[in-house]
Amino acid sequence: MTQLRKTAVITGGTKGIGKALVYKFIDEGFEIITCSRSTENLSSLEKEVLDKYSGAKIFSYSADLSTKEGCQKFVESALEVDTNIDVLINNSGVFIPGPVLSEPEGNLELMINTNLYSAYYVTRGLAPKMADFGSGHIFNLCSIASIKAYENGGSYGISKFAMLGFSKSIREELKDKGIRVTAVMPGATLTPSWEGVDLPEERFIPAEDVAKSIFDVYALSDRTVVEELIMRPQLGDL
């Protein structure tokens, strides 16, 4: 097969940073493979994309990445697409605020499963194909919470600290295989996770800025890798 276009796999591509990434990479000529738990949201995304980009190719799959089975299902679907994988962006995640000692039972398991294990299983499933081609770039959506504990961070902070450790580990494993790995650590970003919060938009990073920064890091020569990308609102953390 002669690959005329590059392909980006973006988990959780129907909202927030994930949706901004879908649009940015399509705008740069990429084919997209993405997923969401909601078939309705996937249908809406496909329609929006194809209405704006008539020649775009987007492959979307319903999958619950908070489960190992859902991750494996998505990996199998992605591998069936007749293309190399040039970029993998582990974006799926969930944010439930609360203190560790009093948050609801099960919060840790849910956020570890969604924020960490999803990246673990999807990367284990797709990185070997990238390694076969000797190139590629993996981005893991970590968080400022990966490097700074804060009030009511709870199990979200635990999961994101672990996600940064995961990124560091696979960076070491994959660097001699031509695959770059970047941990992306944005601060408060204007996404549905912040709906209902009484704060002005200027206190948040636009999701589009995160997507553009990720693409700019990808666009560097293959001799260079940005291992950690830290972004904060200009006025500081919330």
pLDDT tens across 179-226, in order?
999 999 999 998 987 877 889 989 999 999 999 999 999 999 999 999
> Mean of the pLDDT values across residues 62-70?
98
> Mean of the pLDDT values across residues 99-112?
96
> Mean of the pLDDT values across residues 94-101?
94
Rounded to 10 degrees, the C-alpha dihedral 149/150/152/155 comes to: -10
Q: Is the pLDDT of residue 2 over 80?
A: no
Q: Is the pLDDT of residue 236 over 60?
A: yes
* pLDDT of 198: 80
Asked which of 26-35, 119-128, 170-179, 185-194 is least confident by mean pLDDT, the reply is 185-194
Are the CB atoms for 21 and 89 separated by under 8 Å?
A: yes
Between CA 189 and CA 215 the distance in angstroms is: 17
Mean pLDDT (the chain) is 95
Q: Is the pLDDT of residue 3 over 80?
A: no
CATH code at 7-231: 3.40.50.720
* pLDDT of 1: 42
The model carries a pTM of: 0.95
* pLDDT of 4: 58
Between CA 41 and CA 14 the distance in angstroms is: 6
Contacts (Cβ under 8 Å, ≥6 apart) of 112 = 155, 158, 159, 162
SS (H, E, C) 130-189: HHHHCCEEEEEECCHHHCCCCCCCHHHHHHHHHHHHHHHHHHHHHHHHCEEEEEEEECCE
Q: How confident is the model at residue 235 (pLDDT cuts 50, 70, 90)?
A: very high
Between CA 12 and CA 230 the distance in angstroms is: 21
* pLDDT of 103: 95
* pLDDT of 161: 98
Between CA 24 and CA 34 the distance in angstroms is: 14
> Mean of the pLDDT values across residues 110-117?
98
Q: Is the pLDDT of residue 157 over 90?
A: yes
